[in-house]
Amino acid sequence: MTTDNLAAHLNPLYWPLTHGPIPKAVLLAGWTALILLALRRDRAWWRFGLPAALFTAAAVSLLLGLVVDGWLRPFPEGTPRNVTWWVATALLGLCLAGYRLRRSTWPRRAFSLGLGAVVVLMASSQVNISFDMYPNGRVMLAPWLDKPVVLVTTKADETVSAPPEKSLEEVWTPPPGLPAKGTVSQATIPGTKSGFRARNAYVYLPPAYQASPRPLLPVLVMITGQPGSPDEWVHQGQIDELMDAFAAKHGGLAPIVVMPDQLGAHWSNTLCMDSKIAKVQTYLAVDVPRWVEQNLQAATDRRSWAIGGASMGGTCALQMGVNAPDVYGTVLDISGQEEPTLGSRAATVKAAFGGDEAKFDAVDPVQVMARRKFPDTSVAVVVGDGDGLFRPGQEKVFKAVQGADMKATFVLVQNGGHAWSVFRTAVTGQLPWLGRQTGLIR
């Protein structure tokens, strides 16, 4: 075990929160707290308090479900069942604690509230395990602990590029003293052409970008899911660590990763289209590449540009691959949807195109691939083998990709659901493939 590994092993911030003793202990404590809240030596409690708490929790859970999935609809596919279950469990714990406050002393009230908090902690832990949003405390606190560095926008006097018959790695010699790690920066990418008001993007520059002469690296545009924000690929996705590990094996070379905003707000859903909602396709196909050209030094041909994403971001990546094929030559679709959606085809078409299905079909990737061939585009479709909601759609998408004569790859992540553990695994597993498709490595 290296010194760094030992330090991480001893640091509580790096202790796992999705497997091992901590989540098991939280689960045991939570169920124990729920049982203690439900039990009481008081006939009035069994006649009134407990039934009232159960009824209140059930009613609030039902009302919350109607508001969230029937009105707000932040999740196009609906709230996952396991999330609904654990939210209901947390509400039950709070209701039990609340009804126990009647005719209790202050110490007992404090004890009941503490037990309710433990139940909420258990429910939160189980939801976190489902999505693997926070594998450890370090990731949870990353937005406050990590300070992005100032983006390097200066242009090097000398650059290195590869001839058509060679990869960049074959003509690149890493200089002495090359940093072991890349940098992560925030950047404002304005919607000059699209008019889209995006939140700050994040940019990863690999170690080789800091060298002189500077290699003209490929660009990977990574899109987050919905709801979401661009920083999730940095914090939950840990993409800088994944890229640094790849760069360590290839002389400091890795793709430049640009993580723009395609939503505008955490809970918004723009469908990643040019529609009545927003002109996000123009933003990703025109504004983002133009900003990269003006502010960074990178390869510019379509072969060197890839776009990827997870969940709705994977759908978005495929949309860009078929609707802007002159910009993006490679697509990484991780756990994407069968089609862009706000929950139903009718609701989507109405909100985006005023009910005009022909306009929706004109940009829906599966429909586009049914009409057009893309022999010069490479697509990797990746999904967890246990993702019952998204796997069927991904299998249909892959058939459409094959039918469009794309260079197609389909990967099932073993023991995976719709979670960041799958998304990270997909990026790690497909990085060599991305490197080959974009001319970075042989």
Give the list of residues 6+ apart from residue 165 with CB closer than 8 angstroms, or none. Answer: none
Task: For residue range 243-297, list pLDDT tens digits in order.
Answer: 999 999 999 999 999 999 999 999 999 999 999 999 999 999 999 999 999 999 9
**Which residues is 256 bridged to in the sheet?**
219
Tell me how far apart the alpha carbons of residues 162 and 171 are, in angstroms, rounded to a whole number.
6
Q: Which residue has the tokens 């246990």?
A: 386
**Domain boundaries in the chain?**
19-131, 154-437
Look over the chain and give the mean of its residue pLDDT values, rounded to a whole number: 95
- Mean pLDDT throughout 381-385? 97
Query: Pick from 328, 308, 267, 307: which is nearest to 424 by CA?
Result: 308
The whole-number pLDDT of residue 190 equals 98
The whole-number pLDDT of residue 73 equals 81
Q: Are strands 330-334 and 378-384 parallel, antiparallel or unpaired?
A: parallel
Dihedral, 104, 109, 113, 115 alpha carbons, nearest 10: -80
CB 423 within 8 A of CB 150: no
**Per-residue confidence at 102, pLDDT binned at 50, 70, 90?**
confident
Helix (H, G, I), strand (E, B) or coil at 322: helix
Q: What is the pTM of this model?
A: 0.93
Give the list of residues 6+ apart from residue 59 with CB closer than 8 angstroms, or none. Answer: none
Give the list of residues 6+ apart from residue 387 with CB closer than 8 angstroms, or none. Answer: 335, 394, 416, 417, 418, 422
Residue 428 pLDDT > 90: yes
The whole-number pLDDT of residue 7 equals 54
Tell me how far apart the alpha carbons of residues 343 and 363 are, in angstroms, rounded to a whole number.
17
CA angle 117, 123, 125 (to 5 degrees): 100
The whole-number pLDDT of residue 71 equals 81
Tell me how far apart the alpha carbons of residues 440 and 379 are, in angstroms, rounded to a whole number.
17
Query: Pick from 145, 143, 146, 131: which is nearest to 17 by CA?
Result: 131
- Mean pLDDT throughout 317-332? 98
The whole-number pLDDT of residue 8 equals 59
**Per-residue confidence at 146, pLDDT binned at 50, 70, 90?**
confident
**Which residues is 409 bridged to in the sheet?**
380
In DSSP notation, 228-297 reads --TTHHHHTS-HHHHHHHHHHTTTT---EEEE--SSSSTT---TTSBSSS-BHHHIIIIIHHHHHHHHS-
Query: Pick from 235, 214, 69: which is nearest to 153 by CA?
Result: 214
Topology (CATH) of 154-437 = Rossmann fold (3.40.50)
Helix (H, G, I), strand (E, B) or coil at 203: strand
The whole-number pLDDT of residue 60 equals 96
The whole-number pLDDT of residue 76 equals 85
Q: Which residue has the tokens 């993580």?
A: 259
Q: Distance between terminal CA atoms of the chain?
A: 32
CB 348 within 8 A of CB 341: yes
- Mean pLDDT throughout 179-186? 96
- Mean pLDDT throughout 310-323? 98
